Structure 1
Amino acid sequence: MTDSLNNFLSFVSTIRVQDIIDILIVAVAIYKIYILIKETRAEQLMKGILAIFFFSILSDILNLYTISWILKKAWTAGFVLIIVVFQPELRRMLEYIGTSNIFKKSFVDLQYEVAKHNSTEVTRAVASLSRQKIGALIVFERRTGLNEVIETGTLLNAVISSELLINIFIPNTPLHDGAVIIRESTIKAASCFLPMSENQSISKELGTRHRAALGISEKSDSLSVVVSEETGTISIAEKGELQRYIDVETLEDILMNFYSVNNEESVNDYEE
């Protein structure tokens, strides 16, 4: 045990600052390349390359000379094939690296962009639904998980967009009845059933959506946005309380604050 610890400490002492910088640069480069090729044809190609690389090493270890020879020849032809077949993707990747400011953006800047995008898209959808007097109920998950609620609806796992949110709540469509659940930057599910509030002091003029929004806010730390079908009024339900007659500008500020606070909590949790 002591020898192992001494060997480990000896190894750590040989690591230079340059080595750490070198590893970080390679890690960032790999991550950026993965983001660029994610969900494209190039992603499948990379999986194939990694598979060949794995089997090439395995064949060397097991002394499978024929397979090893074939795989080494495949490497030579493979790189030429990559350049020919994926020329558009490679060109687009190099153009993106040359023209973008991905290396200039800080983590805080990226967080702000995500918060701004999410709050703007949701606000745009809610404003449109409000003008058309189309009822809507959107629930934003915080620390308290809403998996039980998500399971009652239709799973979507979609990127937040105003067009999708508007289409979900259009009357007489399959998903319009129920709540949309949003987790971070993802629309997790639609047409979800929420628990109704048991508060007897709620105004009789409030409908099912408002009572459901209050109900989920009483049982979790979520934030709910409600659009009244009768009046188009926008309301916010949080901590068992309902704020009515929210204007569009105030709604966007509330959502921006919601995402900013959530991002700060995520960073603090990671640091802890």
Structure 2
Amino acid sequence: MPFDFDWSQLFTWRALINLLDIAIVAFVINQLMKIVKGTRAVQLLKGIGVILLIKFASSFFELRTTEYIVDYVIQWSALALIIIFQPELRRGLEHLGRGSLFPRKRKINPSEQLVQDISRATQYMSRRRIGALMSIEIDTSLEEYIGTGISLDADVSGELLINIFVPNTPLHDGAVILKDFKIASAASYLPLSESPAIPKKLGTRHRAAIGLSEVSDAITVVVSEETGEISVARQGNLISPMTKEELETYLRKELVSEEEDEKNFFQKLAEGFRKGGADK
């Protein structure tokens, strides 16, 4: 008797719903794998695998005491995961709050003059090894950090930026925060990153720059007082060293050009999870 299969069953509404369900689950699993890749969660997953293996073995060989202990561990694992990965979860939710489900286009008000002022001031201070820390507000509000410094609300100029960071002056110790193409504040305090991945040779300025980039989408330019090297911190990453041309190209791309800067849901979650994982 020949095999008789009703191909129309493949295209029923229920079948399509099942396919969509499978596709969504596969997509979510794939994204979660990308999120945990390279983080402490990889080691956690290995530990969970070992626990499940012990659970299976204890059940198969009827090791009652071992099975009881493993069941007890599994019962409390959810609470333990929340406590252990609190930084990762917090970072992920912060990134989600700043983003949207789908990418969107945005355009920051073009300002070639702002790029030139920052570049000119940075090059002057780099040659003379004057330490500097300048953060540019993008979408995430920096009012919390502006309030820790001295309010200026001054027009941006290379000369003013240089004068602020001249050693032994009242405003040189701390960060300058730029908002709406003005110098909003000077001598502001930024959150220090606790990431163990940061090289020991980097000082407080670099840790502050990375720390702010972990909790906001700000762009922070750093000039090292020890070496004169120029660095840029963004989204938890530090680009260093940078030449004059590289700095100007980067700032033009981020501040002048229209680009698809907003990440989608899973990109935001992954970034937040990775930054949180680097905190410990």
Q: TM-score, normalised by structure 2?
A: 0.53
> Does the 8 Å CA contact 2:112/2:256 hold for their aligned counterparts?
no
1:193 to 186, 189, 192: 189
Between the aligned residues of both structures, percent identity stands at: 48
Measured at CA, do residues 262 and 197 of structure 1 come closer, stay the same or move farther in structure 2, by a change above 3 Å?
Answer: farther
Secondary structure of the residue that 1:187 maps to in structure 2?
Answer: strand
Partner Cα separation in structure 2 for residue 194 and residue 228 of structure 1? 16
Partner Cα separation in structure 1 for residue 133 and residue 146 of structure 2? 14
Partner Cα separation in structure 1 for residue 108 and residue 136 of structure 2? 18
Q: Shift of residue 112 of structure 1?
A: 11
Question: Residue 136 of structure 1 aligns with which residue?
Answer: 132
Q: Shift of residue 263 of structure 1?
A: 9.7
Aligned counterparts, 1:97-176, within 5 A: 115-176=111-172
Q: Shift of residue 184 of structure 1?
A: 2.8
Measured at CA, do residues 253 and 139 of structure 1 come closer, stay the same or move farther in structure 2, by a change above 3 Å?
Answer: same
1:248 and 2:209 aligned: no
Question: Residue 199 of structure 2 aligns with which residue?
Answer: 203
Partner Cα separation in structure 2 for residue 255 and residue 179 of structure 1? 18
Partner Cα separation in structure 2 for residue 171 and residue 155 of structure 1? 19
Question: Residue 229 of structure 1 aligns with which residue?
Answer: 225
Secondary structure of the residue that 1:173 maps to in structure 2?
Answer: coil
Partner Cα separation in structure 2 for residue 121 and residue 173 of structure 1? 21
> Does the 8 Å CA contact 2:110/2:257 hold for their aligned counterparts?
no
Q: Shift of residue 185 of structure 1?
A: 1.0
Partner Cα separation in structure 2 for residue 241 and residue 114 of structure 1? 24
CA RMSD of aligned residues (A): 2.1
Q: Which has the higher contact order (CA 8 A, sep 6+)?
A: 2
Secondary structure of the residue that 1:190 maps to in structure 2?
Answer: strand
Counterpart of 1:206 in structure 2: which amino acid?
A: L
> Does the 8 Å CA contact 1:179/1:192 hold for their aligned counterparts?
yes
> Does the 8 Å CA contact 2:137/2:219 hold for their aligned counterparts?
yes
Partner Cα separation in structure 2 for residue 192 and residue 262 of structure 1? 29
Gaps of 5+ in 2: 1-106, 262-280
Counterpart of 1:260 in structure 2: which amino acid?
A: V
> Does the 8 Å CA contact 1:142/1:262 hold for their aligned counterparts?
no
Secondary structure of the residue that 2:199 maps to in structure 1?
Answer: coil
Partner Cα separation in structure 2 for residue 173 and residue 180 of structure 1? 14
> Does the 8 Å CA contact 1:138/1:182 hold for their aligned counterparts?
yes
Q: Shift of residue 264 of structure 1?
A: 9.4
Q: Shift of residue 190 of structure 1?
A: 0.4
Gaps of 5+ in 1: 1-110, 266-272
Greater per-residue helix proportion: 1
Question: Residue 5 of structure 2 aligns with which residue?
Answer: none
Secondary structure of the residue that 1:204 maps to in structure 2?
Answer: coil
Partner Cα separation in structure 1 for residue 153 and residue 109 of structure 2? 20
Partner Cα separation in structure 1 for residue 222 and residue 108 of structure 2? 25
Question: Residue 214 of structure 1 aligns with which residue?
Answer: 210
> Does the 8 Å CA contact 2:108/2:258 hold for their aligned counterparts?
no
Measured at CA, do residues 113 and 216 of structure 1 come closer, stay the same or move farther in structure 2, by a change above 3 Å?
Answer: closer
Per-residue Cα deviation, 1:95-146 (whole angstroms, up to 9, x for no partner): xxxxxxxxxxxxxxxx999511110011000000000000000001111000
> How many residues of Structure 1 are paired with residues of Structure 2 in the alignment?
155
Q: Shift of residue 228 of structure 1?
A: 0.2
Partner Cα separation in structure 2 for residue 257 and residue 115 of structure 1? 11
Partner Cα separation in structure 2 for residue 164 and residue 240 of structure 1? 28
